[in-house]
Amino acid sequence: MRWVDVTVVGGGILGLATAREVCRRRPRLRVRLMETQQGLGRGQSGHNSGVLHSGIYYEPGSLKARLCRRGRAAMLDYCRAKGIDHRVDGKLLVANSEEEVERLGHLVDRGRENGLVGLRRLSAEETRSREPEVRALEAALVPEAGVLDYREVC
């Protein structure tokens, strides 16, 4: 085994991003990436839902909210630059009780404070016309949510 300066364990999205950043910042370092699977992104990164989050759930102004928004933009740029398939066709958050309608209102307010574009509430009829199989008292349309294949990103 040859001498290396840095060993990164895990060939998922985080391990690969870490190794890439070490190489970018310190190009003279010898970096080894170790993975137990028979390919990259075959662990948690390849088994997640593939959701590209919008940042609607996080406390406005929090580090988590800011990083989610920055990370989303960076991931979209990366996918475009590398020709990686992705879709940003939004998602619906549905409310089926009065309590959930109230929580939905808070989420929409939070999303707006976090700078989400095009976020809006939908009536039961608007929700049904958009997604005929969905029954809800109300919904929120989150246009900035999307999906991609993180295994392909890896």
Active site residues: 53
Q: Please give the DSSP secondary-structure letter assigned to residue 122.
A: E
Backbone angles phi, psi at 138, to 5 degrees: -160, 160
Q: How many other CB atoms are found less than 10 A from the CB of residue 132?
A: 8
Q: Is 10 left (phi over 0), alpha (psi -120 to 50) or beta?
A: left
Residue 125 and residue 14: Cα distance in Å, rounded? Answer: 42
CB 104 within 8 A of CB 140: yes
Residue 27 and residue 69: Cα distance in Å, rounded? Answer: 29
Residue 118 and residue 120: Cα distance in Å, rounded? Answer: 6
